Structure 1
Amino acid sequence: MKSRKFRSKILTDPLDGYRFFLIGMLLTILSLCFQNLYADSIQERFPPPNGFQRINFPQDSFAAYLQNFPLKPKGSSVSLYDGRIKTNQVHVAVLDFPLLREDLIQCADAVMKLRAEYFYSRKQYDQIHFKISNGMEVAFSRFAQGKRVQVNGNKSQWKKGKFKQGTGRDVLEEYLRFIYIYAGTISLKSELKKKSIQNLIPGDVWIEAGSPGHVVMVVDQVTGKNGQTLFLLAQSYMPSQEMHILKSESPYSPWFELPKSQSFQTPEWEFPTKEIYGFIK
């Protein structure tokens, strides 16, 4: 191996550091501007089929947040948490949010992550709370206060200590990691409300609770002149993998039609049609 010599640069002009700082800030701002200019979101990637119009929701709603969620470049494969490529590629697009390098963010976890990220982006920290498998509600606001949950078998309780406080990203990631470990389809379903399929909106889910169970989320919606509804579905799966937009078998693929039978077939799971739920708020 060749050896390398490193030399440190000494700034002779005290203004040099300030100039470098300004240049760095300018480059960062330009980079963000270009990223926003060429952002490719769900609604940008998937225009409504002919004869349909996208349903617009309030800009501050969870539904609009999902419609505008950024996607990875076209042609991206779904990766697993360990970097391997998923064998069953049943998607048309991959959502752009990072995985952990552990088998933690599966189907229900990805849904909860999206929900948490929505409230976090709006600084509505008190709205970030989920139940874990024993029924205990765990709020991010208590993590922000420097409290943590001690788990012993099926029992859990809050404890105080010298834990990180605040609403920073590092505290949120610690909170979400705890949720990924101790929550799942059973706990998620317990805090959702049953819905009529005719009232479906982005953010609603088909969910079958169990071990294993599965959940898919509606992320966009369009309507036709005759009232026909189409929607896009996203999922994560097992093992932990990037969340992705699913293909459908309808003539409007990847858009799904409202199921008319008692079962709803998705590429990797069949749900009872009636098992559609939404978040309470």
Structure 2
Amino acid sequence: MPKLSKLMRLGVVSILIFALMVGCTTEQSQLNKKTEIVEKPRLEEKDGISSPTNKSEQSYKESLINSNGRTIIERIKVPEGYERVEVPRGSFAEYLRNLPLKPHGTKVKYYNGEEKPNDVYVAVIDMDVGTRDLQQCADAVIRLYSEYLYKNRQYDKIHFNFTNGFRADFKKWMQGYRIKVEGNKTYWIKVAGYDDSYECFRKYLDMVFAYAGTLSLSQEMKRVPLSDLQIGDVFLKGSDPGHCAIVVDVAQNPKTGEKIFLLAQSYMPAQDIHILKNPANEDSNPWYSINFGDILVTPEWQFTKDQVYRFGE
């Protein structure tokens, strides 16, 4: 092959250098574009909690969920512009919003140890579910109210009706009486001495869980207007099948008066009580607005605005 002239060799080298420069410039330009796309929002530290410098969904999640919080009031923060409502010291409302939570990221477990497959919750209440398929939806509401009353030694207020109308009083159970069920016939029998221990209390609850449900609960609770919603109120559909979820916290916008609330539930089969997500929001915001319209949509059930109930005194 004939040798290239010096001039031709210089021309080829120049073309190669130009091509390399253009290629690097184009690649660098594309690299810069990719960097801009995947760059995460910068977070600023404020009071030990990361707060967003923009309104990205992930940053919003980090601003509402404090993974180190050990109770509802510590774990779940209120959205900007809202304040938690004041509640009386020692009240059922104060008890609920201070319920202990399992560590952030804990999965809901069924009574048999299996994990709940549906990711419908933001937190799990640190309370045993038992080893039998008993503590379902209505039972979780009964459990929380009973635990509060037992803790405050208000034993005479711990009573619930079975679906057949039989009234099961814990005070009578404490005195050593037990409930005998034979078909539709239900009655007390004396079998033991006085016992007000927590173990005795849990056995009483298991008996109630076995024979009470959403229907009996709706018949002994009083209906209240949605506009008067308070912590401790229950969204309840009393039927077969039925369902219920309890309000465990409430906040309000002082300027607009709008209330928002958190819901907790158990479900079937018996499972850990958990704080529900709101399917209308991102997973980061579990708060529900009282202005939901005619239908309240929760992850596993829908309620109407007139299905709000409250325990009486």
TM-score range, shorter chain: 0.7 to 0.9
* SS of aligned partner of 1:64: helix
Q: Provide the residue aligned with 2:268 in structure 1.
A: 238
TM (normalized to structure 2)?
Answer: 0.75
- Partners of 1:63 and 1:87 in 2: CA distance: 30
CA distance in structure 1 between the aligned counterparts of 2:80 and 2:295, rounded to whole angstroms: 27
1:141 and 2:176 aligned:
no
Q: Distance in 2 between matches of 1:275 and 1:39?
A: 31
SS of 1:51's partner is coil
> Unaligned 5+ residue runs, structure 1?
1-37
Instruction: Using the TM superposition, give the Cα deviation of residue 185 of structure 1 relative to its aligned residue in structure 2, in angstroms.
Output: 0.5
The one of 276, 284, 287 equivalent to 1:255 is 287
* Counterpart for residue 214 of structure 2: 185
What amino acid is aligned across from residue 250 of structure 2 in structure 1? Q
| Contact 1:39/1:70 (<8 A) preserved | no
Between the aligned partners of 2:181 and 2:81, the Cα distance in structure 1 is 53
Check whether the contact 1:202–1:219 (CA below 8 A) recurs between aligned residues.
yes
CA distance in 1, matches of 2:252, 2:69: 25
Which residue identity does 2:214 align to in structure 1? T
Report the Cα distance in structure 2 between the residues aligned to 1:78 and 1:89, rounded to whole angstroms. Answer: 9
Aligned pair partner of 1:214 in 238, 243, 254: 243
Contact 1:193 1:278 in 2 (8 A): yes
Per the TM alignment, residue 89 of structure 1 is displaced from its structure 2 partner at its CA by 1.4
Q: Residue 229 of structure 2: which of 161, 176, 200 is its match?
A: 200
Measured after TM superposition, the shift of residue 205 of structure 1 is 0.6
Mark the runs of 5 or more structure 2 residues left unpaired by the alignment: 1-67
Which SS does the other structure have where 1:253 is aligned?
Answer: coil
Deviation at 1:260, TM superposition (A): 3.8
Shift of 1:177: 0.8
1:268-279 equivalences in 2 (<5 Å): 268-279=300-311
**Residues 109 and 221 (structure 1), Cα distance of their counterparts in 2 relative to 1, 3 Å cut:** same
Corresponding position: 1:43 with 2:52? no
Matched residue SS, 1:186: helix
Structure 1: distance between partners of 2:83 and 2:291: 20
Amino acid in structure 2 at the alignment position of 1:98 = D
What count of residue pairs does the alignment treat as equivalent? 243
Inter-partner Cα distance in structure 2 for 1:260 and 1:144: 43
TM-score (norm 1): 0.84
Superposition pairs for residues 115-194 of structure 1, below 5 Å? 115-161=145-191, 163-194=192-223
Q: For residues 248 and 204 of structure 2, what CA distance do their matches in structure 1 show?
A: 24
1:211-240, CA deviations, whole angstroms, 9 ceiling, x for partnerless residues? 221000100000002101100000000011
Matched letter for residue 187 of structure 1 = S
Q: Distance in 2 between the 1:72 and 1:175 partners?
A: 25
Q: Report the residue type matching 1:179 in the other structure.
A: V
